[in-house]
Structure formats: structure tokens, C-alpha cells
């Protein structure tokens, strides 16, 4: 078998110049391409502009359920963990339980510290015929909108409990506010 010479090895190297030329041509092509033509061909289901209205929209009746923190509670971590530590098994912040955390609910103007009492109040409001309001889209009567408003310091579990209570009472149009 003959030995390879330096000239043979030089011929075996690939020349990247044609590939670089093709890449630059593609860049020039896409820079010069009018993307508006492509965008016009893509299907998009966007809302239609209704235009500006000169009359203000009438306010919609709603029931506000506010969730406040009475006592923030104390975070109790598992053995060996603390605030700001990462659990090596999961790679996430260490889990903890809250002890002594209590929340208070305001359903309309009434205040409750017991979630069961707040749920009973929501059920009473949902059963009241005066809670049925006209739906602006269909004109039929429906139960008024329920807005769950979380105040600062409220935990996700408190908001979820309030939302579940509203849903169990019969409210279907539930939105969120606060922060």
C-alpha cells in the first residue's frame, strides 16, 4: 500500500467557501424578502376592532369575595432544611408547612373567619332571586359575577379555597383581582 503524500492530504480537505457563499445568499434573500406578503397568507383569528365608543360601558353587577391574612403563620421546614435552601433530591426550594396561618374572608360587606360560614353566605346569596342579573351578551338572566380578590400576603391555598367555595355555591363566572 502506498504512503500518502502531503499533496494527497491537501486534496482531501474540504473547502468551506461555497457553503459560506450559500449562507450569505440566504441571509440576503431573507433580509430582502417582504414578510408582509407572508403574514397576509397566514391564517390569524384576531378579534375585530369594534371602534371607539363615545358612551361609557355600564358597570356590571358583581359579588366581591376578599381574602385577607389575619396571621401570616410560621414556616416550619423539614429536618435539615431552612429558608432559602435547595432540596438536593428535587433541585427545588425546600418545602415547608405553615403553622398558625389564618385568613379572613369578606363576602360583600360581611366578614368571616370560618370558611364554612363564608360558604353558607355564598350559598344564601346564590339562592337569592335578586342575585340573578341580565347577561349582556344573551339577554337571559344568570347568576352575578363573583370576583375573588386576594390581598397582599394571601397564600395560593386561601385563594383556591375561596374559589372552590364560590364554585360550590353555584357561581360559574368567577374572576380574580387584587395582588
Tens of pLDDT, residue by residue over 40-79, are 676 766 666 556 666 776 777 889 999 999 888 888 887 7
Cα separation of 159 and 164, whole Å? 9
DSSP 28-60: HHHHHS-HHHHHHHS---PPPP----SSPPPPP
**Please, what sign has the CA dihedral across residues 115, 120, 126, 130?**
negative
pLDDT tens for residues 6-51?
666 666 677 888 899 999 998 888 777 766 666 667 676 666 655 6
Instruction: List the chain domain ranges.
Output: 62-178
Look at residue 111 in the predicted model and tell me its pLDDT: 92
Amino acid at each position: 500500500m502506498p504512503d500518502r503524500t502531503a499533496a494527497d492530504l491537501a486534496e482531501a480537505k474540504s473547502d468551506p467557501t461555497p457553503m459560506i457563499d450559500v449562507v450569505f445568499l440566504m441571509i440576503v434573500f431573507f433580509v430582502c424578502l417582504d414578510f408582509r406578503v407572508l403574514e397576509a397568507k397566514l391564517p390569524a383569528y384576531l378579534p375585530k376592532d369594534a371602534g371607539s365608543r363615545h358612551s361609557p360601558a355600564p358597570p356590571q353587577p358583581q359579588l366581591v369575595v376578599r381574602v385577607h391574612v389575619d396571621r401570616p403563620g410560621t414556616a416550619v421546614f423539614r429536618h435539615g432544611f431552612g429558608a432559602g435552601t435547595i432540596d438536593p433530591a428535587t433541585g427545588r426550594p425546600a418545602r415547608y408547612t405553615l403553622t398558625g396561618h389564618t385568613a379572613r374572608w369578606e363576602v360583600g360587606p360581611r366578614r368571616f373567619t370560618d370558611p364554612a360560614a363564608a360558604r353558607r353566605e355564598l350559598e344564601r346569596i346564590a339562592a337569592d332571586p335578586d342575585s340573578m342579573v341580565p347577561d349582556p351578551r344573551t339577554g337571559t338572566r344568570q347568576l352575578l359575577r363573583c370576583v375573588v380578590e386576594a390581598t397582599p400576603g394571601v397564600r395560593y391555598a386561601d385563594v383556591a379555597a375561596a374559589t372552590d367555595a364560590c364554585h360550590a355555591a353555584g357561581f360559574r363566572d368567577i374572576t380574580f383581582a387584587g395582588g
